[in-house]
C-alpha cells in the first residue's frame, strides 16, 4: 500500500480516531489492531507475513532468553545473526540470482533493524523485556513499517505504556507534518525526479549532467524527507513521538556533520550497534578508521544489492576517514566558522558526487555520468538549456524555484522547529500559508493525467 | 467532556474550512491550467439560440462530408457540424444533448463510422477528450460516464478535474493573454464545423464496394448507443438520419455496416448508405475524396444529396432568419466558391455548374473559326453558366462575355474591356488580362473563373484539341484532351 494512496490516508484517519477513543487506558491492543489493519490492506504475500510473525515471536523469545541467561551469548548472536542473514539473503538474492524472481518483503530492511535494535538494547540491559503484543507493536508499527525511520525501542515502549491523552496542538502538528510530507513528495520530489531524468539523459553532458546530479541530490533528499515526515507525522497523530530523520543535511559543514543530519535513525543505529560495539574510536586511530569503513560498508550493503551501493558506502567511509585525518592535523579553529558557507558547498559537492554511484545501476553508467561531467556542453541561453534537455523553460524555472524553496526552508529549519513556529502564528497567517501551499499543489502538483507519482526511493530498500 | 466537545468542533470546523478552501482553489485554478482548451464548443454556443435547423454529428468523416454552406445554398436552412475526430457514438449522443441546450434542430444527421472496425485505427486517448471538451456544465461529466472502459472513464473524469499541465508552456510574459484564452472563446467557427479539404489527387477511381460476406451482430453497447440517440431524437421531435459517408471501405466494415443498417431497419430508423450510393452519385475516390475523407467536391455531392432530401417541410418550427447566421453563411458560401473552383479544379463541367450557383466571375473569350466546334453538352453547360451564345450553331462567331454570379454583365462579338469591382478586365482577341496581367492566353477559347474580388483566379484554356473538354474517355485531369 502506497502511503500516497487513499487507502493509507483513510487508514491513518481511522486509526487516529480509533486510538484517540480506545487508548485512554492502554494502547497496546489498539495499536496492534491498527497494525493488523495496515498489514491487511498492504496485501502482503502470506510468506512475508509468516516471516514477520516469526521474526516478532523469535525477537520476543530471544529477549526473554537473554534476560533469563545473562551469561550466555548464543541467544543474542542467534537472534541478531539470523534476521541479519535473512536480510542479506533477500538483498543479494536478486543480485546473485537475477532470474530467480526472489522478491524482498516490503519493509524488511527497516523492521529487521528494529528487531535487532530491541534485542541489542535488552542485551545491554537498557530495555525491559516486553510482552509479545508490545514487541509486535514496535516491530510492525505501521507508520514506519515500509521505510522507517528506524525508531528506537525505549521511547516507543514508554509511550506505548502511557495512557493516551489527546493534545490538540500535538495531534494537529502531527497532521500538518504528514500533509507537508505529502506536499514535499507530490510537488517537489516527483517534479525533480522528472527533471533529473531529463538532465541525466545519455545524450547530454557538461552543464546538463552537472544540473542532473544537483537535481538528483535534492530529489533523493526531498523524497526521503517527505516519506519520513509522513511517517513521523502520522505516528504523532496516533500519539507517538518519533525523532526526526533529517535535519537540513545539505547545510552540513562536513561529512561527519552530514551523517548526523542525514537518515539520522539509520546512521545512529549503525553507530550504536556496529561502530561502538566494534570499538568505535577507543582502540586507536587505525581501528577507528577501519570501524568507520566497516560502518559505511554495512550502510552500502543495507541500501541495496550491487557493487554501486558498496562503492557509494565506501566512498563516504573513505572521505570520512580523510576528513577526520585532516581534522586531527588542523584541529578546530574559531576562524573556521567564517568559511562555513564554503565548507557547506564543498560538502554538498562531495555528497552529490557520491550520489552518482547510488543512482547508477552499474559502473558503466556511473562512469558515463562522471565522464559527462568532464565534458563541455554549454547552451547559449536558459531557453536553449531547457529545450536541449527536453523540458520547457517554465519547468526549468520551476526547478530553480523548487531548489530555492528547499534551501530556504532548510535555512529556517536549521535552528527552528517549523511546526511550532507555524503553530505560534496567528490564525490568518497560518491559513494564508496553508492557502499558498494549496495553490502551489493544485498548479504544480504531480497528480492527474500526464503525471506519474513515483514510488518513494527508500521504500525499495 | 466540554473540552472533548470543543476539540471535536474545532477539528470539524478546520476540516470544513480546509476542504472549502481547497475546493475553491481547485475550481478556480485548474481551469486556468488545463491544456488545449477546445474552443469549438464555445463557438457553437455563441450562435443565436433556437436558430439551428439541421445538426450533423459524427467523426471526421462527417466533418469533411457535410458543408453547411452547400446545404444553405440548396435549401436556405441553417446547419452545423458538431464533429470531433473519431467521435464515438456515445459522445455523439452527448454532443446532441449539448446542442439541445440552446438549439432545437429539426433534423439530425449522424455518421456511423465509429461503429465500423476500420475506425479502430483512429482510436486514441484523445477521442473522448476532444468531444467532451466541446461540451459544457454537467453534460461533460455525464459524457465521461459513457466512456465504456472503466480505466479510460476514470482517466477522463480525472482529466476533467485534474488536468493542470499548461503551466509548463504558458508564456510568463503574457499571463494576461493566457487568462484571456481560458475564458470562453468569443466568436464563431467560420466553417460552421465543416472541415474543408482541397482535392489532392484528381483522378477517377471508382469506389470499390463489397457484398456482405459474414452476418455480424452489433454489440449490446452499440445498440444501446444507437437506441439512446433514437430515443433522444424521438423525445425532441427530431428527424434522425443515420449516414455512412463515402470512403474506402473494406470487407469487415461492409459486414458490420450491414449489421448497423439491419438494426436500424428493425428499429424503423432512416439511414443513407453513401458508400453504396457512390456510383449512383458519381462520387470517385481521388476526385471527391481520399480513402477516408471527402474533399470539397465530395462534400458537395454528399451535402447536395442530403439537401435534396431535407426541406423546409421537415422543420418543426418555421425557419428563422438571423443576421448572425446570414453573415456567417455569406462568408462561408464565398469560401465555398473558392473550395469548388480554385486553380486545383480543372474539371470545367463542375466549374461551369458551380459558377452559376456560387459567387464568382466567369470571363469568356471565344475565338470562332471553322475548326472550333463544341458539342451539345458543352454548349448547354456554357449557357447554364450564363453565357448567351449558341456555341454549336454559331461556332464560327467570336464571343466575349463577363458573367457575375450567373448573371451576364456584358457580352460582345468583338474584344472589349470592362471594369468590375475596381479591376480592369480586358477580353482581347488572343488573351484575357486582369489589371494588366495575362490570365488566359491559349488556343481558341479561354474560360476564366474567379472570385468577385479576384483573390483567386482559375483560367481554363480550351483549345482545338480539347474542344470536347475532357469528358470523353479521359480518366482524369492529367490527360489534357480527349480523342
Percent of the residues in chain A that have a pLDDT greater than 70, as a whole number: 96
Mean pLDDT over A411-424 rounds to 89
Mean pLDDT over A189-213 rounds to 88
Contacts of A449 in chain B (CB under 8 A): 155, 158-159, 162-163, 165
**Candidates A438, A447, A451, partner chain B, best to mutate (most B CBs within 10 A):** A438
Give B299 or B10, the one with higher predicted confidence.
B299
State the pLDDT at residue A246.
92
In the numeric block, which cell numbers belong to residue B426? 480586358
pLDDT band at B473 (very low <50, low <70, confident <90, very high): very low
H or E element in which residue A221 lies: helix A207-237
Of the listed ranges A343-352, B20-29, B43-52, B419-428, the least confidently predicted one is B20-29
Q: What is the pLDDT of residues A82-109, one digit of tens each?
A: 999 998 888 887 777 777 677 888 889 9
Beta bridge partners, B450, equal: B361, B457
Distance of CA B173 to the CA centre of its chain: 37
3-state SS record for chain B? CHHHHHHHHHHHHHHHHHHHHHHHHHHHHHHHHCCCCCCHHHHHHCCCCCCCCEEEEECHHHHHHCCHHHHHHHHCCCEEEEECCCCCHHHHHHHHHHHHHHCCCCEEEEECHHHCHHHHHHCCCHHHHHHHCCCCCHHHHHHHHCCCCHHHHHHHHHHHHHCCHHHHCCCHHHHHHHHHHCCCCCCCCCCCCCCCCCCCCCEEEECCCCCCCCCCCCCHHHHHHHHHHHHHHHHCCCEEEEEECCCCCCHHHHHHHHHHHHHHHHHCCEEEEHHHHCCCCCCEEECCECCCCECHHHHHHHHHHHHHHCCHHHCCCCCCCCHHHHHHHHHHHHHHHHHHHCCCCCCHHHHHHHHHHCCCEEEEEECCCCCCCCCHHHHHHHHHCCCCCCCCCCCCCCEEEEEECCEEEEEECCCEEEEECCEEEEECCCCEEECCEEEECCCCEEEEEECCCCCCEEEEEECCCCCCCCCCCCCECCCCCCC
Interface touch B7/A166, C-beta < 8 Å: yes
Nearest residue in A to B151, CA atom: A449
Burial A52-88 (b: 16+ CB within 10 A, else e): beebbebbbebbbbbeeeeeeeebbeebbeebeebbe
User: Nearest-CA distance from B30 to chain A in Å?
Assistant: 7
CA-based R_g, chain A, Å = 23
Interface touch A443/B163, C-beta < 8 Å: no
State the pLDDT at residue B178.
66
Break chain A into its structural domains and give their ranges.
6-166, 170-460
Q: What is the pLDDT of residues A227-271, one digit of tens each?
A: 999 999 999 998 899 999 999 999 999 999 999 999 999 999 999
pLDDT band at A188 (very low <50, low <70, confident <90, very high): very high
Judged against a pLDDT cut of 50, whether residue B478 lies above it is answered with no
Of the listed ranges B218-232, B304-318, B459-473, the least confidently predicted one is B459-473
pLDDT band at B35 (very low <50, low <70, confident <90, very high): low
Q: What is the pLDDT of residues B217-227, one digit of tens each?
A: 999 999 999 99
**Axis-axis angle for helices A168-183, A6-22 (nearest 10):** 170
Contacts of B11 in chain A (CB under 8 A): 168
User: Nearest-CA distance from A174 to chain B in Å?
Assistant: 13
State the pLDDT at residue A141.
94
Of the listed ranges A8-17, B153-162, B248-257, B435-444, the least confidently predicted one is B153-162
Mean pLDDT over B409-434 rounds to 92
Give the closest of A392, A439, A448 to B162, CB-based.
A448
pTM above 0.80, yes or no: no
DSSP A247-277: S-GGG-SSHHHHHHHSSHHHHHHHIIIIITT
State the pLDDT at residue B252.
95
State the pLDDT at residue B32.
74
Look at residue A279 and give its three-state secondary structure: coil
Where are the strands (E) in A52-200, listed by range? none
Judged against a pLDDT cut of 70, whether residue B198 lies above it is answered with yes
Judged against a pLDDT cut of 50, whether residue B298 lies above it is answered with yes
User: Nearest-CA distance from B169 to chain A in Å?
Assistant: 6
For residues A360 and A315, the answer to whether their CB atoms sit within 8 Å is no
State the pLDDT at residue B482.
38
Interface touch A435/B158, C-beta < 8 Å: no
Measure the CA–CA gap between B382 and B391, rounded to whole angstroms. Answer: 8
Contacts of A447 in chain B (CB under 8 A): 162
- Other CB atoms within a 10 A radius of the CB of residue B477 amount to 17
State the pLDDT at residue A355.
95
Sequence-separated (6 or more) residues with CB below 8 Å from residue B475: B203, B204
Nearest C-alpha neighbor of B141 from the set B185, B97, B183: B97
**Candidates A399, A436, A442, partner chain B, best to mutate (most B CBs within 10 A):** A442
Judged against a pLDDT cut of 50, whether residue B476 lies above it is answered with no
Give the closest of A392, A397, A445 to B169, CB-based.
A392
pLDDT band at A455 (very low <50, low <70, confident <90, very high): low
Which residues 19-48 of B have a C-beta within 8 angstroms of A? Answer: 21-22, 25-26, 29-30, 33
Pairing mode, strands B445-450 and B361-366: antiparallel
State the pLDDT at residue B45.
92
State the pLDDT at residue A111.
94
For residues A291 and A279, the answer to whether their CB atoms sit within 8 Å is yes
Contacts of B21 in chain A (CB under 8 A): 431, 434-435, 438
Chain A residues with CB within 8 Å of chain B CB: 166, 168, 391-392, 394-395, 397-398, 431, 434-435, 438-439, 442-445, 447-450
State the pLDDT at residue B472.
46
For residues B40 and B273, the answer to whether their CB atoms sit within 8 Å is no
State the pLDDT at residue B136.
82
pLDDT mean across residues, chain B: 87
Mean pLDDT over A6-24 rounds to 86
User: Nearest-CA distance from B267 to chain A in Å?
Assistant: 40
Contacts of B27 in chain A (CB under 8 A): none
- Other CB atoms within a 10 A radius of the CB of residue A353 amount to 16
User: Nearest-CA distance from B115 to chain A in Å?
Assistant: 27
Interface touch B168/A447, C-beta < 8 Å: no
For residues B111 and B59, the answer to whether their CB atoms sit within 8 Å is yes
Q: What is the pLDDT of residues B437-462, one digit of tens each?
A: 888 766 778 889 999 888 899 888 77
Sequence-separated (6 or more) residues with CB below 8 Å from residue B309: B241, B272
Pairing mode, strands B107-111 and B54-58: parallel
Interface touch A448/B167, C-beta < 8 Å: no
Judged against a pLDDT cut of 80, whether residue B126 lies above it is answered with no
Interface touch A397/B163, C-beta < 8 Å: no
Q: What is the pLDDT of residues A264-308, one digit of tens each?
A: 999 999 999 999 999 888 888 899 999 999 999 999 988 887 889
Nearest C-alpha neighbor of B398 from the set B411, B382, B408: B411
What does each C-alpha distance from A460 to A2, A49, A147, A187, B283 come to in angstroms?
12, 18, 8, 21, 63
Whether the bond between A18 and the residue before it is cis, its omega within 30 degrees of 0, is no
DSSP state of A163: P
Contacts of B168 in chain A (CB under 8 A): 391-392, 394-395
CATH class of B38-145+178-334: alpha beta
C-alpha dihedral sign at B465, B471, B472, B476: positive
Measure the CA–CA gap between A150 and A267, rounded to whole angstroms. Answer: 10
State the pLDDT at residue A271.
93
Give B238 or B26, the one with higher predicted confidence.
B238
Q: What is the pLDDT of residues B349-377, one digit of tens each?
A: 888 889 989 999 999 998 887 766 677 88
Distance of CA A26 to the CA centre of its chain: 30
Which residue's entry shows cell 432530401? B309
Pairing mode, strands B416-420 and B423-427: antiparallel
Which residue's entry shows cell 524488511? A108
Sequence-separated (6 or more) residues with CB below 8 Å from residue A157: A127, A128, A130, A134, A138
Measure the CA–CA gap between A411 and A405, rounded to whole angstroms. Answer: 10
Highest mean pLDDT among A153-167, A444-458, B467-481: A153-167
Percent of the residues in chain B that have a pLDDT greater than 70, as a whole number: 90
Interface touch A443/B164, C-beta < 8 Å: yes
Measure the CA–CA gap between B390 and B394, rounded to whole angstroms. Answer: 6
Of the listed ranges A4-18, B299-313, B326-340, the least confidently predicted one is A4-18
**Axis-axis angle for helices A108-124, A74-96 (nearest 10):** 160
- Other CB atoms within a 10 A radius of the CB of residue B111 amount to 26
Q: What is the pLDDT of residues A34-58, one digit of tens each?
A: 999 999 988 888 999 999 999 999 9
Judged against a pLDDT cut of 80, whether residue B123 lies above it is answered with no
Break chain B into its structural domains and give their ranges.
38-145+178-334, 346-479
Contacts of B158 in chain A (CB under 8 A): 448-449
State the pLDDT at residue B481.
39
Mean pLDDT over B257-268 rounds to 96
CB pairs under 8 A between A and B: 54
Interface touch B162/A392, C-beta < 8 Å: no
Measure the CA–CA gap between B241 and B106, rounded to whole angstroms. Answer: 11
Mean pLDDT over A182-194 rounds to 90
Phi, psi angle pair for B413, to nearest 5°: -90, -5
pLDDT band at B94 (very low <50, low <70, confident <90, very high): very high
Contacts of A439 in chain B (CB under 8 A): 25, 29
Q: What is the pLDDT of residues A147-183, one digit of tens each?
A: 879 999 999 999 998 888 888 888 899 999 999 999 9
Structure-derived torsion over alpha carbons of residues B217, B220, B223, B229, reported in degrees to the nearest 10? -160
Nearest C-alpha neighbor of B127 from the set B158, B77, B89: B89
Per the document, the length of chain B is 483
Interface touch A439/B29, C-beta < 8 Å: yes
Contacts of A450 in chain B (CB under 8 A): 163, 165
Per the document, the length of chain A is 461
Which residues 245-264 of B have a C-beta within 8 angstroms of A? Answer: none
Helices (H), A125-206: 132-139, 153-161, 168-183, 190-199
Measure the CA–CA gap between B317 and B5, rounded to whole angstroms. Answer: 64
Nearest residue in A to B159, CA atom: A449
Burial A359-383 (b: 16+ CB within 10 A, else e): bbeeeebbebbeebbeeeeeeeeee
Amino acid at each position: 500500500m502506497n502511503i500516497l494512496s487513499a487507502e493509507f490516508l483513510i487508514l491513518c484517519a481511522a486509526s487516529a480516531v480509533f486510538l484517540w477513543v480506545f487508548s485512554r487506558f492502554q494502547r497496546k491492543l489498539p495499536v496492534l489492531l491498527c497494525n493488523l489493519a495496515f498489514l491487511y490492506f498492504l496485501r502482503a504475500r502470506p510468506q512475508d507475513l509468516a516471516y514477520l510473525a516469526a521474526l516478532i515471536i523469535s525477537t520476543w523469545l530471544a529477549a526473554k532468553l537473554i534476560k533469563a541467561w545473562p551469561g550466555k551469548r548464543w541467544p543474542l548472536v542467534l537472534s541478531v545473526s539470523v534476521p541479519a542473514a535473512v536480510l542479506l539473503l533477500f538483498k543479494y538474492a536478486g543480485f546473485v540470482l537475477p532470474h530467480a524472481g526472489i522478491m524482498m518483503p516490503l519493509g524488511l530492511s527497516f523492521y529487521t533493524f528494529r528487531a535487532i535494535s530491541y534485542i541489542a538494547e535488552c542485551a545491554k540491559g537498557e530495555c525491559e523485556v516486553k510482552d509479545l503484543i508490545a514487541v509486535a507493536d514496535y516491530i510492525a508499527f505501521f507508520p514506519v513499517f515500509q521505510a522507517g525511520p528506524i525508531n528506537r525501542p525505549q521511547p516507543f515502549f514508554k509511550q506505548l505504556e502511557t495512557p493516551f491523552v489527546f493534545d490538540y496542538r500535538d495531534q494537529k502538528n502531527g497532521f500538518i507534518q504528514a500533509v507537508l510530507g505529502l506536499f514535499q513528495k507530490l510537488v517537489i520530489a516527483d517534479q525533480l525526479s522528472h527533471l533529473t531524468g531529463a538532465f541525466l539523459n545519455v545524450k547530454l553532458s557538461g552543464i546538463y549532467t552537472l544540473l542532473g546530479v544537483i537535481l538528483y541530490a535534492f530529489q533523493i533528499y526531498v523524497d526521503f524527507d517527505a516519506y519520513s515526515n509522513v511517517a513521523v507525522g502520522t505516528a504523532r497523530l496516533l500519539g507517538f513521538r518519533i525523532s526526526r530523520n533529517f535535519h537540513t543535511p545539505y547545510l552540513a559543514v562536513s561529512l561527519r556533520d552530514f551523517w548526523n543530519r542525514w537518515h539520522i535513525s539509520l546512521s545512529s543505529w549503525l553507530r550504536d550497534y556496529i561502530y561502538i560495539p566494534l570499538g568505535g574510536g577507543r582502540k586507536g586511530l587505525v581501528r577507528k578508521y577501519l570501524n568507520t569503513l566497516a560502518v559505511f560498508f554495512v550502510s552500502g550493503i543495507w541500501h541495496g544489492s550491487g557493487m554501486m551501493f558498496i562503492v557509494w558506502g565506501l566512498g563516504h567511509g573513505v572521505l570520512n576517514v580523510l576528513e577526520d585525518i585532516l581534522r586531527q592535523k588542523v584541529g578546530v579553529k574559531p576562524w573556521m566558522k567564517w568559511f562555513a558557507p564554503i565548507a557547506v558547498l564543498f560538502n554538498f559537492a562531495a555528497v552529490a558526487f557520491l550520489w552518482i554511484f547510488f543512482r547508477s545501476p552499474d559502473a558503466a553508467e556511473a562512469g558515463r555520468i562522471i565522464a559527462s561531467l568532464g565534458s563541455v556542453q554549454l547552451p547559449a541561453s536558459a531557453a536553449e538549456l531547457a529545450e536541449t534537455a527536453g523540458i520547457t523553460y517554465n519547468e526549468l524555472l520551476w526547478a530553480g524555484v523548487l531548489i530555492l524553496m528547499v534551501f530556504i526552508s532548510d535555512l529556517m529549519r536549521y535552528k527552528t522547529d517549523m511546526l511550532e513556529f507555524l503553530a505560534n502564528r496567528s490564525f490568518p497567517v497560518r491559513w494564508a500559508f496553508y492557502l499558498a501551499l494549496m495553490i502551489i499543489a493544485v498548479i504544480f502538483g504531480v497528480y492527474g493525467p500526464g503525471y506519474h507519482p513515483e514510488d518513494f526511493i527508500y521504500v525499495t530498500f | 467532556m466540554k473540552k472533548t466537545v470543543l476539540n471535536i468542533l474545532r477539528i470539524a470546523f478546520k476540516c470544513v474550512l480546509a476542504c472549502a478552501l481547497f475546493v475553491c482553489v481547485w475550481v478556480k485554478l485548474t481551469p486556468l491550467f488545463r491544456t488545449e482548451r477546445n474552443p469549438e464548443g464555445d463557438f457553437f454556443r455563441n450562435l443565436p439560440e433556437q436558430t439551428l435547423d439541421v445538426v450533423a454529428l459524427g467523426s471526421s468523416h462527417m466533418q469533411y462530408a457535410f458543408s453547411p454552406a452547400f446545404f444553405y445554398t440548396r435549401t436556405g436552412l441553417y446547419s452545423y457540424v458538431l464533429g470531433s475526430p473519431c467521435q464515438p457514438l456515445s459522445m455523439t449522443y452527448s454532443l446532441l444533448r449539448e446542442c439541445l441546450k440552446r438549439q432545437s434542430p429539426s433534423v439530425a444527421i449522424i455518421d456511423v463510422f465509429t461503429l465500423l472496425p476500420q475506425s479502430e485505427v483512429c482510436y486514441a486517448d484523445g477521442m473522448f477528450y476532444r468531444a467532451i471538451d466541446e461540451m459544457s456544465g454537467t453534460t461533460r461529466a455525464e459524457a465521461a460516464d459513457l466512456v465504456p472502459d472503466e480505466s479510460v472513464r476514470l482517466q477522463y473524469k480525472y482529466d476533467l478535474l485534474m488536468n493542470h499541465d499548461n503551466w509548463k508552456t504558458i508564456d510568463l510574459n503574457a499571463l494576461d493573454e493566457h487568462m484571456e484564452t481560458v475564458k470562453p472563446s468569443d466568436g464563431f467557427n467560420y466553417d460552421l464545423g465543416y472541415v474543408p479539404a482541397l482535392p489532392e489527387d484528381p483522378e477517377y477511381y471508382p469506389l470499390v464496394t463489397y457484398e456482405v460476406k459474414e452476418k455480424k451482430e452489433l454489440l449490446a453497447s452499440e445498440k444501446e448507443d444507437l437506441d439512446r440517440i433514437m430515443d433522444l431524437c424521438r423525445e425532441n421531435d427530431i428527424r434522425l438520419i443515420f449516414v455512412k459517408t463515402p470512403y474506402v471501405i473494406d470487407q469487415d466494415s461492409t459486414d458490420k455496416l450491414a449489421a448497423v443498417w439491419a438494426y436500424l431497419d428493425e428499429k424503423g430508423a432512416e439511414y443513407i448508405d453513401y458508400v453504396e450510393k457512390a456510383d449512383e452519385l458519381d462520387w470517385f475516390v481521388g476526385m471527391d475524396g481520399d480513402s477516408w475523407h471527402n474533399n470539397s467536391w465530395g462534400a458537395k455531392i454528399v451535402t447536395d444529396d442530403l439537401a435534396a432530401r431535407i426541406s423546409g417541410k421537415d422543420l418543426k418550427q418555421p425557419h428563422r432568419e438571423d443576421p448572425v447566421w446570414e453573415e456567417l453563411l455569406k462568408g462561408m458560401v464565398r469560401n465555398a466558391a473558392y473550395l469548388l473552383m480554385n486553380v486545383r479544379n480543372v474539371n470545367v463541367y463542375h466549374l461551369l455548374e458551380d459558377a452559376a450557383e456560387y459567387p464568382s466571375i466567369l470571363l469568356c473569350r471565344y475565338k470562332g473559326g471553322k475548326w472550333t466546334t463544341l458539342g451539345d453538352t458543352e454548349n448547354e453547360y456554357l449557357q447554364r453558366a450564363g453565357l448567351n451564345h449558341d456555341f454549336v450553331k454559331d461556332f464560327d462567331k467570336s464571343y466575349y462575355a463577363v458573367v457575375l454570379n450567373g448573371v451576364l454583365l456584358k457580352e460582345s462579338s468583338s474584344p472589349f474591356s470592362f471594369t468590375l469591382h475596381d479591376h480592369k478586365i480586358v477580353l482581347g482577341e488572343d488573351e484575357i488580362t486582369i489589371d494588366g496581367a495575362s490570365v488566359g492566353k491559349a488556343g481558341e477559347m479561354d474560360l476564366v473563373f474567379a472570385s468577385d474580388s479576384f483573390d483567386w483566379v482559375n483560367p481554363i484554356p480550351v483549345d482545338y484539341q480539347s474542344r470536347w473538354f475532357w469528358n470523353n474517355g479521359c480518366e482524369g485531369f492529367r490527360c489534357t484532351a480527349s480523342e
